Amino acid sequence: MDEIVFVTHNKGKIASARKQLKEVNFKVFEYELDEPRSDDIKYISKYKVMEAYRLVNKPCISMDTGFWIDELEGFPKAFVNFALDTIGIKGILKLMEGKENRNCKFTECLSYYDGNKLHQFMGKHEGTLANKILGNDSSKKWSDLWYIYKPYGYDKTLAQMSDEERDNRIKYKSIDSLEEFAKWYKNKGK
């Protein structure tokens, strides 16, 4: 299989890809891609993978993630980085004070472009918001949301979990775009 280039500057996404794309021949090109203003993660991911392809001129992948909080009508959606840069996780928790519905989810879109065709793979990880910041820092962390997001079926934030717990967490209500891509890519040559 051809080598694929994963263009990203997010260390946590790189760590996840190394773990989940073991059967895919890929390398990382660390670069911060432009991100258009949109609340559509599929559009953002497509835009980013097209920019990535222009940079490396090889088959490549790019990934965009959004975070939806039910009680806040989906806020911050695809604007998660803007929300974290402005109000941070303390601000998100402040907005949620006194709210009973703490359901939330990450959605993600991995885009693969080989110079001719675009393929997109969606992921979704449901959970709940903690009432306060919990857990420890990790080199595998891809967002400060790790300190307040509890995966469905757990009473711990991602930042409180051991590597083993995060790797073996319940997959119910969870679809991972990296895994979906890896399955497709492995079978595309058959």
Kindly list the domain boundaries of the chain, sorted by start residue. Answer: 4-188
**pLDDT tens, position by position, 72-96:** 999 999 999 899 999 999 999 999 9
Q: For residues 6 and 14, is the Cβ–Cβ distance under 8 A?
A: yes
Q: For residues 74 and 68, is the Cβ–Cβ distance under 8 A?
A: yes
Q: Where are the beta strands (DSSP E) in the chain?
A: 4-8, 26-30, 60-69, 76-77, 103-113, 118-129, 149-151, 174-175
Looking at the domain that runs over 4-188, which CATH code has it been given?
3.90.950.10
**pLDDT tens, position by position, 1-38:** 578 999 988 887 888 888 888 888 888 888 888 888 89
